[in-house]
Structure formats: structure tokens, C-alpha cells
Chains A and B, each alone.
Chain A
């Protein structure tokens, strides 16, 4: 089945920019969604259809997608952004939804 690869962790200082990648074959032609999950909590949708933000999600969160890599960008990182982040797509070949391996964002 379709594999989405994310780096295990990304470290960033407060106020700086964090970029979380999600690698997959020709992912640029897919609709990519991103979720934030804090310890002990359910996931929260932060970006959908590649670059759309649900209501209530700060503009600091943005997404892009091209070629074999989708990217979630968090600008002006805050301590409260420390969490696990997952990408997700629909795999039309297997007719299944697929999550990425997950990335832990560590705010230094």
C-alpha cells in the first residue's frame, strides 16, 4: 500500500519556522491533510486539501504540496505547537486512507 514517510522529529526554537515533510510517490497529485495531536488528546485537523485551514486554526499554519513531498509549515512557533503531526491521503490504488508515520515537533 501507499507509504507516507515523515521525519521522526523536528526541533525548532520559539519564534522560528518549523517545516514538516511528508514524502510519497507523486504526492503532489493528491489531496493532503495534516493533523496535530497533543499527548492524551484526540487529533485535530490543521490543514486540509493541501493548504486550507479549518476555522480556529492560526494563520501560522500553512501547507504546500509538489512532486513527491508535501510540507506543513508552522511560522513563529510557540511552545503550544509542541505535538505530533501526521499527514494523510487517500490511496486510490488500494482504496484506503493512509496516515504518515508522524513527526514530533519539539520546541526548544
Chain B
């Protein structure tokens, strides 16, 4: 079955760090660009970061630059999001999402995981 499964979410104190993982199965991860998208409770979708299949191209939302790092291990079929300097505003469900196409910047997200909840609170 083609699917994405996120893990690593949880409760973290303000200023803390967390690493999210996204396990891909049923397809060859290296053939696809990948993304992280988040959704704060009761709010809309917010794109976080993009990484190309070879990791050569990375794009980030303004609010994460310098704090979050996207990476991937194609051999292990894993996507990561390393998050540091977390604040309450980062509280959200974090989804990994696959690009639909062959790596153009204006691609859509055709496959989503179920999400992992990150709560930043003391």
C-alpha cells in the first residue's frame, strides 16, 4: 500500500527541540520531492518546507528559517523535520506530503500522511 506515516510528535517545552519522521512505503521515495505542512488547532493549512528527491534543493517558509531543517534518507525511505527553538506558535499537526510530479516547483501534494501532533507548552 502506498502510504506515508509520521511519527515523533509530542509535548515539548518552549525553546525545546523535536525531530519528526515520515516513513514512506509502497513507492520509491527518491523519485519524489517531499514536503512538511502543518495545521494549528482550528486553523488552516500552512506549508513548512520542501526537499527535492536528491536533497539538492530545499525551500522553506519564512517562519522556519534558521529553526527547522528538512532532510531525507532515501535508502531508509524516511523524511525528517528537525525543529529547534520551538514556541507555542509552532503547536500544530504536522503532515508530510508527497509532490505529484517529477519535481517542478509548482507541483501539488498528491499523498499525505495522517499527521503527528506537536504541542509546545510548559
With beta carbons under 8 angstroms apart, the residue of A49, A84, A97, A100 that contacts B59 is A97
Pairwise interchain contact B109-A43, C-beta atoms closer than 8 A:
yes
- Across-interface contacts of B115 in A (CB, < 8 A): 42
Chain A's nearest CB lies how many Å from the CB of B110? 5
Contact with B along A81-98 (1 / 0, CB 8 A): 000101011101011111
Q: Is the interface of B mostly helix, strand, loop or mixed?
A: strand
Pairwise interchain contact B106-A44, C-beta atoms closer than 8 A:
no
- Across-interface contacts of A100 in B (CB, < 8 A): 44
In the complex, what distance in Å separates the CA atom of A12 from the CA atom of B49? 35
Known A-B contacts A86-B45, A102-B44; the reply to A30 vs B106 at CB < 8 A is: yes
Q: Is A48 an interface residue (CB 8 A)?
A: yes
Pairwise interchain contact B44-A42, C-beta atoms closer than 8 A:
no
User: How many of chain A's residues have a CB under 8 angstroms from any CB in B?
Assistant: 28
Pairwise interchain contact B50-A97, C-beta atoms closer than 8 A:
yes
Interface size class of B (residues with CB under 8 A): 20 to 34
Known A-B contacts A86-B45, A97-B59, A98-B47; the reply to A43 vs B112 at CB < 8 A is: yes
Pairwise interchain contact A88-B108, C-beta atoms closer than 8 A:
yes
- Across-interface contacts of A95 in B (CB, < 8 A): 59, 105
Pairwise interchain contact A99-B45, C-beta atoms closer than 8 A:
yes
Known A-B contacts A48-B100, A92-B105, A97-B50; the reply to A42 vs B95 at CB < 8 A is: yes
Pairwise interchain contact B113-A42, C-beta atoms closer than 8 A:
yes
Within 8 A of B (CB), among A26-42: 30-31, 33, 35, 37, 42
Within 8 A of A (CB), among B41-92: 44-47, 50, 59-62
With beta carbons under 8 angstroms apart, the residue of A42, A45, A90, A99 that contacts B100 is A45
Chain B's nearest CB lies how many Å from the CB of A38? 12
Q: Is B114 an interface residue (CB 8 A)?
A: yes
**B residues in contact (CB < 8 Å) with A:** 35, 37, 44-47, 50, 59-62, 95, 97, 100, 105-110, 112-115
